[in-house]
Amino acid sequence: SENSENSDHVMSLDHNGKVCMLCNRPLPERIDRPYEAFRRDCGKHSSATGPSLDVMAMPAVQVAGAGKAEGFCALNFAKSCADAVANKDYLYFAKSIDFNHASMRSNVRWDGRYCLLNGFLETSVVSLQRNFTALQQHAEELCETKYSKHGVDRLSFLDMLQLSKQEDSSAPSLQEAEAMAAWNCAMGDLACDIAMCAYSFCKQADGRSTALYDTCPGWDPVKGMPAPGTPGTPGTPGTPGTP
């Protein structure tokens, strides 16, 4: 299977033989609906060896052009985000990433901190993860306000690589986490990352660390992370087991 230990969960080749990163479909055990849309027009800036250095140095807004998630489509990077938009379900992207896979485990600490620092684990955000329209609107508002100060029009793929310093145990800083979110804005859609955060991580009681998937109370592979205040969530009045 494509998610087995001896396969690379991150890198693959698309139907045109071009390098594609983070282009998987959702894991079968996480699905409760059919996903019909799978874009076959992506990868115009990729090749058998990936995007060129010139393309990676271009401002992401130029790579993306108009349209939701078009930067991810054009680069064949997180192409699952473009498929999420096509399916009108941002959890498509979140469910396509397996942080428990051997090739992804080293990303867990950085990504969890990125999610935490950007506020993507707050209850008000987590409650949007299954609402495509509301999450898209929230992401657009953040890109136009909070993240606009980070030079969305200038950020490139190379900038993104520089920001993701996995070997630095204190990374990302707040500035780096916000700049990474701004890069997602430039690529055409921040909502995929917000959904990935809300589905995959939860904030620990200390408020400074995160937990993943089923180490979080109430996490469900289909429904994702529970949002306190919604029916069926521990701690919500009217939910079994809640005083």
When pLDDT is cut at 50, 70 and 90, the band that residue 7 belongs to is low
When pLDDT is cut at 50, 70 and 90, the band that residue 1 belongs to is very low
- pLDDT for res 171: 92
Q: Are 74 and 63 a contacting pair, CB within 8 Å? A: yes
% helix / strand / coil in the chain, to the nearest 5? 40, 5, 50
Integer Cα distance of 24 and 12 in angstroms: 9
Q: Is the pTM of this model over 0.75?
A: yes
Mean of pLDDT values over 14-29: 93
Integer Cα distance of 77 and 166 in angstroms: 18
- pLDDT for res 194: 98
Of all residues in the chain, the percent with pLDDT exceeding 70 is 90
More confident position, 5 or 223: 223
**Alpha carbons within 13 A on the beta-carbon side of 157:** 21
More confident position, 221 or 238: 221
Mean of pLDDT values over 98-116: 94
